[in-house]
Amino acid sequence: MLLRQLEYLVALARERHFARAAAACHVSQPSLSAAIRKLERELDVPIVRRGRKFDGLTPEGERVLLWAHRILAEADALRHDLSLMRASLSGTLRMGVIPTALTAASLLTTPFCERHPHARVSLASLSSREITRRLAEFELDVAMTYLDGEPLGNVRITPLYEERYLLLTPDDAELATRPFVRWAEVAALPLCLLAPEMRNRRILDDIFEQAGVVAVAAVETDTVSALYAHVATHRWSSVIAHAWLHMFGVPEGMRVIPLEDPRQAPRIGLVIADRTPEPVLARALLDIAPQVDVRGRLDRLLHDYLR
């Protein structure tokens, strides 16, 4: 069995199409098909349901796919380990980040790349649930996600900061001169919020519920950039996380006002699968985190905007 055969199988499961999988692997379709048939013969099980087109994997194929992810992850770890012995870390760090933490991810990836110039970072914007799945299936080395409220699986966590919430509203709005705002007051405003399928929105809905209100957004979106684009028109207000200030700041003609603290501030942190040995590149990123002090940098940024 060759690692290349396992890579072909992973690509086929991801693309769900023989021609696209072959293109992703930079081989011809007959070569990819032949390699997977050889893998079936070597393991003596059917892996792919075959018809006129790709029809999914057999139950045995799903099990082989899980092991393929694991074996390929271990092979990457071996390469990284050997590169570390050569005193020059190389390879690609596969990192998944929830959309609401993407703005702060560069606080970690930039010093990581500066310290390890031969290493690369593949950064993917993923839902918290997709992050949990990909960590379990060895498709990610490390993730930056919420640490509370939903199961993360068998992982090790490194807290980075607590999410703090602000009202982003036009300068001439009724609440703009207040020193702080209550959640019930925010629910009465014309709002632009993230979509309900996003973890940030589910957290906000829980906080609104604790305040005895329901927030109905006039505009919902699944990206922070689209939310800012709508709020910058001054037609809507929004509840933002303070980490977003790192990239987007405060649009002209608007201001941020602190919201009363929720009962428990959601934690954002780094997560890796609980396995030995740890991915070398993931460990290198974890080693950088305490030196960066993400919490302190974001708190100072928030203080500057509130001042």
Reported as a single tens digit per residue, the pLDDT across 19-64 is: 999 999 999 999 999 999 999 999 999 999 887 778 889 999 999 9
* Percent of the chain topping pLDDT 70: 98
pTM for this prediction: 0.73
Phi, psi of 122 (to 5 degrees): -105, 105
Indicate the residue type of 281.
L
| Bridge partners for 50 per DSSP | 54
Q: Where are the alpha helices (DSSP H) in 47-98?
A: 59-85
**Amino acid 74: pLDDT:** 86
Report whether pLDDT(88) > 70. Answer: no
Is there a cis peptide before residue 196, judged by omega within 30 degrees of 0?
no
Reported as a single tens digit per residue, the pLDDT across 119-175 is: 899 999 998 989 999 998 888 999 999 998 888 888 999 999 999 999 999 999 989
The sheet with strand 155-162 has its strands ordered as 119-125, 91-97, 142-146, 267-273, 155-162
**Amino acid 55: pLDDT:** 84
Report whether pLDDT(76) > 90. Answer: no
User: Is the distance from CB of 100 to CB of 193 less than 8 angstroms?
Assistant: no
Q: How far apart are CA 144 and CA 257, in angstroms?
A: 26
**Amino acid 86: pLDDT:** 55
Average pLDDT, the chain: 91
**Residue 147: DSSP 8-state:** -
User: Is the distance from CB of 194 to CB of 201 less than 8 angstroms?
Assistant: yes
* Structure-model confidence comparison of residues 73 and 227, the more confident one: 227
Reported as a single tens digit per residue, the pLDDT across 96-119 is: 999 999 999 999 999 999 988 888
300: tokens are 């100072």
Q: How far apart are CA 195 and CA 134, in angstroms?
A: 22
Q: How far apart are CA 26 and CA 18, in angstroms?
A: 12
DSSP-derived 3-state class of residue 232: coil
**Amino acid 150: pLDDT:** 83
Q: Residue 275 — pLDDT band, cuts 50, 70, 90? A: confident
**Amino acid 64: pLDDT:** 94
In 3D space, the residue among 263, 265, 243 whose CA is nearest the CA of residue 144 turns out to be 243
Report whether pLDDT(89) > 90. Answer: no
Mean pLDDT across 195-212: 93
Q: Residue 1 — pLDDT band, cuts 50, 70, 90? A: low
Mean pLDDT across 196-211: 93
Q: Residue 87 — pLDDT band, cuts 50, 70, 90? A: low
172: tokens are 């001439």
